[in-house]
Amino acid sequence: MKLLGLFFLSFTLLFLCPFISQADVPELSREPPRPIVFVHNDRSKSDPQQVHISLAGKDHMRVTFITEDNKVESVVEYGKQPGKYDGKATGECTSYKYIFYKSGKIHHVKIGPLQPNTTYYYRCGGNGPEFSFKTPPSTFPVEFAIVGDLGQTEWTAATLSQIKSQDYDVFLLPGDLSYADTSQPLWDSFGRLVEPLASQRPWMVTEGNHEIEFFPIFEHTTFKSYNARWLMPHTESLSDSNLYYSFDVAGVHTVMLGSYTDFDSDSDQYQWLQADLAKVDRKTTPWVVVLLHAPWYNTNEAHEGEGESMRVAMESLLFSARVDVVFSGHVHAYERFKRVYNNKADQCGPIYITIGDGGNREGLALSFKKPPSPLSEFRESSFGHGRLKVMDGKRAHWSWHRNNDSNSLLADEVWLESLSTSSSCWPSSRSSDEL
């Protein structure tokens, strides 16, 4: 399997990558990229690898792991003390083929009910090392680490190290995970690279263009690898697609949208989003956050206008629901906008933040348009990550931390006020409590 994987990796990098990159834009001036960090498997075939966890409905967590041994059962044992497991759950498994590549056995096991803000110890498949995770709190404060376009380079490793140095509750990733681009061994490497973080805190992700992996003649099923490996709680949030879903943490409702699946008013995604937002009670869930890949607002020359059709189709839904913040990736830089609606400053619109600066192999998008737009409050072409700390039902603190190679530097911060508390943003005939 290893030899076949190395052959496929070499074949893809040499011959296929020029054809499958989904980011077909004019050549940009980028900071020199750093080498890919390829993480090999140093465990036995029966031991779990690429372990990551994700929220799976109220008080439950999904544990995902991969084994090379197909005889390993899809079970997870867990408990509140190291080595003492009083809970056990059995899940499901899958695998897939991609041209010459065949994945290992991919296990998805849903465990719970779990107590909030509690550390659990767990073992996957009845074998191998013990892992641990902490569940998010049920009440404020709650903190999210947010970064897009992660990849697996030396920049990525530095960003992950800086994120891990300060605790958080949930990791949010608005698309472009592994940058495998059909080279399937890079999906395995990515899973091993992020395991130290992704096995300890829930990682909630949505797809980007680099997850599409369509290849003419050979592979027509899009998102095959992504959907098999990164199962998100779409069923739990009544979505028919793993490409868009929602979840709740404490008093924050988070919506993950798909930039690369249908989004017009007749689409399943549009209808699902409309229904999902309508169910949010802003009295008990005062914050609403949205993530998607291609930004709707962007003053960088990279990917200019690529999110426009989705904005035209869906922006009014977010505005009517008084969404607080929209995070996106795709553009390899950082940018924060004012509250905006329909290309104008609007105190009742979301704050838009582009954070596609995780450390991908393509480098940075260095060319911002001049003069700066009055809607753009801060922009910089640097790698880094962000943190959203929601203090209570009214206030949240946003900070962006520049990746200065060996350390992290706070470069931008702002206090946010939830729109649920703004009386001027709700029609007099309809209070926020009714939404």
Tokens of 123: 């073992």
The helix (run of H) or strand (run of E) holding residue 162 is helix 154-164
Q: How, if at all, do strands 351-355 and 334-341 pair?
A: antiparallel
SS3 content of the chain, % helix, strand, coil (to 5): 20, 30, 50
Strand order across the beta sheet in which 203-206 lies: 203-206, 170-174, 142-146, 384-390, 395-404, 407-417
Q: Identity (one letter) of the amino acid at 350?
A: P
The catalytic site residues sit at 303
Compute the C-alpha angle 223/227/228, nearest 5°.
120
Give me the phi and psi of 189, to 5 degrees please.
Answer: -60, -45
Task: Compute the half-sphere exposure of residue 308: CA atoms within 13 Å on the CB side of its CA.
Answer: 7
Q: Where are the beta strands (DSSP E) in 329-375?
A: 334-341, 344-345, 351-355
Q: How, if at all, do strands 351-355 and 376-380 pair?
A: unpaired
CA 1 vs CA 179, 200, 263: distances in Å? 21, 28, 39
Select from 310, 283, 429, 237 the least CA-distant residue to 318.
310
